[in-house]
Amino acid sequence: MLSIDRLHASVADKPILNGVSLQVPAGEVHAIMGPNGSGKSTLAYVLAGRPGYEVSEGSATFNGADLLAMEPHERAAAGLFLGFQYPVEIPGVSYLQFLRESLNSQRRSRGESDLSGGEFIKLARAQAEALGMDIEMLKRAVNVGFSGGEKKRAEMVQMGIMQPKFVVLDETDSGLDIDALRIVGDGINRIMRSADKGVLLITHYERLLEHVRPDRVHVLQAGRITRSGDIELARELEREGYVEAAA
């Protein structure tokens, strides 16, 4: 589903990714762990098409299409979703209106009709309730005044509404307490655990992985994958750190 082959990328002329190769088949959840500065967020931004991240070598394909040749909005319309480590605030823009416009924009790109206001509210309420979030929160401006946990829950609501084919979640567990962590983990499983979907979950910690149970865990160090395994690898990293993982 997602195929990355010897990907090299830089930011402000500084090399960050140094030959990342990774395969995430449909129906699987893969996790990436690694120390600060190893290139985890850079990989997420390159896949999403964020400006300023320059690919110098290698390839990335999504469902057989050249992902790197697409504009960011084209990647989103194709079904790629990026969850941010620090979701941004957008003052003056209602979260519900933002979500409705985003969803209908993607529906139009697929030749589908827009959802009516009533249809959308019904969908948004169901997704919010499934994640323990009051729909009234989504009537506020995007992320303005939200706690860290509320921002992440709102992002999971967005994911549930958009129903992407593949999600890249950049440290979505950052700032979450125990209860919020469980709710977000359950949301990932409910929305994305499907034979025709895929997940690339970037995290520092093993705790979220106990809820999500990834099919594979990869260690990213100095811009390349140095080791892969199952959830036992994540537990080992939690105990021993990344020095041993590079050995």
Measured over the CA atoms of residue 224, residue 8, residue 32 and residue 221, the dihedral's sign is positive
pLDDT surpassing 70 at residue 102: yes
Give the start-to-end residue ranges of the domains of the chain. 2-246
Residue type, 209: L
Q: Distance between CA atoms of 81 and 85, rounded to whole angstroms?
A: 13
- Provide the pLDDT confidence category of residue 244 given band limits of 50, 70 and 90: low
Q: Domain 2-246 adopts which CATH fold?
A: Rossmann fold (3.40.50)
- What whole-number percentage of the chain has pLDDT above 70? 98
Main-chain phi, psi angles of 77, to 5 degrees: -65, -30
Closest to 245 (Cα-Cα) out of 32, 25, 19: 32
pLDDT at residue 226 is higher than 60: yes
pLDDT given for residue 68 in this prediction: 96
Contact 233, 217 (CB under 8 A): yes
CA distances from residue 64 to 42, 59, 67 in whole angstroms, order as listed = 22, 11, 9
- SS3 category, 190: helix
Q: Is pLDDT of 98 > 90? A: yes
Q: Look at residue 11 and give its three-state secondary structure.
A: strand
pLDDT at 60: 97
Distance, in Å, from the CA atom of 83 to the CA atom of 17, rounded to the nearest integer, reads 20
For residue 71, give both structure tokens: 């504009």
Residue 6 is encoded by which pair of tokens?
């010897």
pLDDT in tens, 7-61: 999 999 999 999 999 999 999 999 999 988 899 999 999 999 999 999 999 999 9
The pLDDT of residue 172 is: 81
User: For residue 24, which of 200, 211, 221, 203 has the smallest C-alpha distance?
Assistant: 200
Residue-wise pLDDT for 119-159, tens only, equals 999 999 999 998 888 899 999 999 999 988 888 889 899 99
Q: What is the mean pLDDT of the chain?
A: 91
